[in-house]
Amino acid sequence: MGFDDEAEALMIGPWLMPRQQDNSVPATPDNPLHGHHPFARPLKGSWTKDATGRWQSGSVDPHAWEVICEECGDTDGPIETQSATVRARRGPYSSHRKAEHAATKHFKADN
């Protein structure tokens, strides 16, 4: 499962979307689909590249969390391959609550 597939499978974002009275999604720029969409996930590890060159995780740590923001350049994969800014945002965090707080704080700062 790739980065985009994972985000879609987790249904990242719909809970953030403000709705108009008729339950429709507002047009850009108020639409949160425009901008940053950080999300928290369990910390992944044991990274390898598949035949197409995409990173694949071989393990998940259920006791540690990380924040991913593709719009900031997080390309998934091992933290060592990320920029200093991405590494600082990614974590790890000791709880899901702390990771969600960091993701929400980043979302509000960049949107």
Give 37-86 pLDDT, tens digit per residue: 889 999 999 999 999 999 999 999 999 999 999 888 888 899 999 999 89
Domain ranges of the chain: 40-111
**pTM for this entry:** 0.64
Q: Band of the pLDDT at 106, cuts 50, 70, 90?
A: confident
Q: Distance between CA atoms of 41 and 74, rounded to whole angstroms? A: 13
CB 92 within 8 A of CB 80: no
Q: What are phi and psi of 90, to 5 degrees?
A: -65, -35
Token pair in block for residue 27: 């047009």
CB 65 within 8 A of CB 93: yes
| Residue 60: C-alpha distances to residues 47, 69, 73, 100, 105 (Å) | 10, 18, 22, 17, 24
For residue 19, is pLDDT > 90? no
Burial of 6 (0-12, 13-18, 19+ CB in 10 A): middle
